[in-house]
Amino acid sequence: MQVSDLAADLDETLAMMPTLAFLENERRMGWRKSPFEREKWQPGSDEIIAACHAISKHDFERAMHFAHAALSVKHPAAQEVTALVLYGARKYPEALRAMNALLSAGTCTVNIIGPAGQVNAAIGDFRLGMKLMAVSSRMQRPQWSAPAWEGEPLTGKAILVMSGSPPSITNGEMGYGDEVMLARFAPELARRGADVYLKCSPQMAPLLATLEGSTPVLGLPPKVDYIVDPLELPHLLQIPSREKLPPPPYLMPPRPRPAVDRCSFNVGISWGCGLFAGPQTRWATLSELRELADVPGITLYSLEKGPHAEQLQPPPEGMRAVVDLGRGFQDFADSAAAIDAMDLIVSTDNVVANIAGALGKPLFVLGDYYLDWRFTGPNGTTPWYPSARVFRQEKPGAWRPVVAEVATEIRRFVARRRLLERSNTHDQAEGFMPLSRKANAA
């Protein structure tokens, strides 16, 4: 490895992972100096930089190679970097053991605390996981203009829910999907007597206005007694387990549904990452979803807004037309109305999937190989969205087998619906009435 290459890798990695304190320390020690001057520094530092740069590029095989090399010379950051490689590669059981060992030894930094929280919340100790995520948030948040809420009584108080987390090693800035997922905790603050304000973007405000007991704001409200990061709410509200998460639906579509073909089985699809530039490994392409269009009896509706929607014009060769609803979306309230009109949503891990889950709509999540922690429940489930089923890649980038499995499940969905419709038609012809309708008639 050349010094010039390492310096460039170090600068690029720190730009993408600004919380890596041990890398910043290497830069302060003078990585632009000559190899002769660098010989007196810690053995394995070259490998640590190379491993972190590979993590930032999602090249986890290469990252693990360099992490093992750093371990062999006992670089002080080697165990932490190894744990981050395992986490990034979504090898959660191994990552859980490595991270919890660092936590027990008291040798971890903020770079481990947040990911350790996510892994524990996904497959380990849920309460510990949410506590660690809260600790990570507190360690990184800026100075606020009001006291941070630490669980004090809220009767008659005004509390502002806003993200204070900077870009992180793994997830970047808090995205729209995170806003939707964590909004479920705001009504509990209102039930405790608070006036609850949600700081959000103009695109999200009309949808979050349907949340019980909360008021979305674009700036600061006139009175604020406390501020809290939404990532801290599961811990501060003492949510005891995954099974006790506030369930959907907790949002409502605030606008009328768009017109759709009610004689068809309507499937809304989203293959990009919405307006938030999440990890590119999460993206599919419309052409990779082509097999969905071959399922008989369904109509596909695009819920894409932004650059990914350009793939509709023209549609991929051999793919029948997809109805473009996303073209008319002005904000996420429009997205919610369109989602609510669908019989099923098929989406990559993005804001569309989170809105569908928050509305309680049937949802198939197209999960990439490096699947996000919230979608890693047993047997393709997620406690955050019980109406969702997750289909994960077996190999990085391999979307077609995932889409083929989803297409098979949609055929089963359609078959069950037709069977139910025939059953209802037969009951009506024989003079039977479903119990719910009998009660209404009475």
Give the dihedral of Cα atoms 366, 419, 320, 302; nearest 10 deg.
-50
Q: Are residues 416 and 269 in the same domain?
A: yes
Q: Alpha-carbon distance 69 to 45, whole Å?
A: 10
Which of 108, 138, 168 delimits the end of a domain? 138
Contact 172, 190 (CB under 8 A): no
Q: Are residues 112 and 32 in the same domain?
A: yes
Which whole-number Å values give the CA distances from 162 to 52, 181, 217, 226, 372, in the listed order? 30, 14, 10, 11, 22
Q: Are residues 275 and 415 in the same domain?
A: yes
Q: Are residues 29 and 117 in the same domain?
A: yes
Beta strands in 100-162 (DSSP E): 158-161
Return the structure tokens found at 347: 């989406």
Give me the tens of pLDDT residue by residue for the chain, a chain 442 residues long. 443 454 455 556 555 554 455 554 544 444 444 343 444 456 788 888 888 888 878 889 999 999 999 999 988 888 999 999 998 888 889 999 999 999 888 877 777 888 899 999 999 899 999 999 999 888 877 788 899 999 999 999 999 999 755 434 333 346 889 999 999 999 999 999 999 999 998 999 999 999 999 999 998 888 999 999 999 999 999 999 999 999 999 999 999 999 998 889 999 999 986 554 456 778 899 999 999 999 999 999 999 988 888 888 888 888 888 999 999 999 999 999 999 999 999 999 999 999 999 999 999 999 998 888 899 888 999 999 999 999 999 888 899 999 999 999 999 989 988 888 777 765 555 544 333 333 344 4
Number of separate domains in the chain? 3
Q: Alpha-carbon distance 169 to 405, whole Å?
A: 32
Q: Alpha-carbon distance 182 to 2, whole Å?
A: 45
* 207 within a domain of the structure (yes/no): yes
Q: Are residues 67 and 203 in the same domain?
A: no
Q: Are residues 7 and 126 in the same domain?
A: yes
Q: Are residues 220 and 81 in the same domain?
A: no
Taking the chain, what is the end-to-end CA distance rounded to the nearest angstrom?
81
Q: What is the pLDDT, as a whole number, of residue 437? A: 35
* 256 within a domain of the structure (yes/no): no
Range of the domain at 378: 265-421
Q: Are residues 340 and 388 in the same domain?
A: yes
Q: Are residues 314 and 395 in the same domain?
A: yes
* 12 within a domain of the structure (yes/no): yes
Q: Look at the block and give the residue holding tokens 């932490």.
A: 80
Which of 105, 138, 171 delimits the end of a domain? 138
Q: What is the pLDDT, as a whole number, of residue 43? A: 78
* 183 within a domain of the structure (yes/no): yes
Q: Are residues 349 and 389 in the same domain?
A: yes
Report the CATH number at residue 416.
3.40.50.2000
Is the N-terminal amide bond of 386 cis, ω within 30° of 0?
no
* 428 within a domain of the structure (yes/no): no
Q: Alpha-carbon distance 178 to 273, whole Å?
A: 13
* 341 within a domain of the structure (yes/no): yes
Q: Are residues 199 and 130 in the same domain?
A: no
Q: What is the pLDDT, as a whole number, of residue 330? A: 94
Q: Are residues 24 and 132 in the same domain?
A: yes
Contact 390, 377 (CB under 8 A): yes
